[in-house]
Amino acid sequence: MSSLIYVLNGPNLNLLGKREPAIYGHETLADVEVDCRRLAEELGFDLRFLQSNAESQIIDWIHEAREKAAGIVINAAAFTHTSVAILDALKACEMPIVEVHISNIHKREPFRHHSYVSAVANGVIAGLGTQGYQFAIQHIARLTKAARH
């Protein structure tokens, strides 16, 4: 069984820590990656940590994860609220999927309240800041290890 976790990040998350700190905090995406790598290593998992502003690239990575990964952590950013194509790609993945949002999308504008990703996610973490990625990795590790025994 695979011990690889994909962490996928959608559009504009490359700006994390560089603008809008009141909403998204001061950590950069590179900082988040360091924390995720450290945790994955502690838990005995390899990590692919990826970000793209292009919907097609994210879909291609989901297809790749479908073949190679034990689970997917996804912050699809604005595509969360718009992309049936990302939903369809995730539907084809038979593995744990955890949706992460740094901010609490339900406390924000109404257009952020609906998520296509939630329809296929095992769990949704929103509003816990970048720590949400850590909880998501822990959950996938736990589910994967339970499935092995």
**What are the residues binding ligand CA2 (CB under 6 A)?**
12-13, 15-16, 19-20, 24, 75, 77-78, 80, 101-103, 105, 112
Given the complex with ligand CA2, which of 26 and 142 has the nearer CB atom? Answer: 26
State how far the Cα of 92 lies from the Cα of 126, in Å rounded to an integer.
24
Known catalytic residue at 63: no
CB of 86 closer than 8 Å to CB of 76: yes
Q: Which of 101, 116, 139, 149 is catalytic?
A: 101
State how far the Cα of 12 lies from the Cα of 31, in Å rounded to an integer.
16
We find the least distance from the C-beta atom of residue 127 to ligand CA2, in angstroms, to be 8
Given the complex with ligand CA2, which of 27 and 46 has the nearer CB atom? Answer: 27
User: Where do the DSSP E strands lie in 60-139?
Assistant: 71-75, 97-101, 123-126
Which residues are known to be catalytic? 24, 101
